[in-house]
Amino acid sequence: MTPPHGQGGRDTGAPGDAGATWTTDLFVANTGSAEATAGVKFLGHNVDGRSGVEKSFTLGGGQATTWADILGSVFSLSTDWGAIRVSSSSPSLLVSGQTWTPDSLTGTYGQNVPAFGDADLIRAGTAKTILGVGEGALFRTNLILANATDAALDVDVALLADSGETLGSGPLAFCRLE
């Protein structure tokens, strides 16, 4: 994570296809030797995230913590989803979110996504390519986008075939910090 913030896991406690329930665990490690203070804020979805609940925490040098079911254990939410913002003035924090669901036959499945910092944000007037987005008989990609700014914004999104042909496109509107 690059200060002053990073975005973490998205889905927590939200019902999915075939009754799947998704949970996000948040991992934070202080790789430095000095104590680090940070804030964890749930930004929600389809709302102005500035009003989201924020909790503060302190990690000693070399310490790490895990919040299993971050929305339930930290924010007392049972069914919701949205971006989680971790803010700190320390450059020594590493943050990762793991979103998963139980599978009665094989255990669990999901994904682990590292937080991103200011250098990873897409700025106005620039384009970004996200590889591996698709849908087929065996899988689909959940494309997760978040607004890390204090301003509402519109994003133009286009889905391209391997050939470069545009399969679909359109604007997406985001609330502040959504």
Q: What is the pLDDT of residues 75-100, one digit of tens each?
A: 998 888 888 999 998 999 999 988 88
Query: What Å distances lie between residue 82 and 17, 116, 142, CA to CA?
Result: 17, 15, 13
The answer on pLDDT for 158 being more than 70 is yes
pTM for this one?
0.74
The CATH number covering residue 112 comes to: 2.60.290.11
Domain of residue 97, residue span: 5-174
Cis peptide before 3 (omega within 30 of 0): no
How many domains does the chain contain in total? 1
The answer on pLDDT for 60 being more than 80 is yes
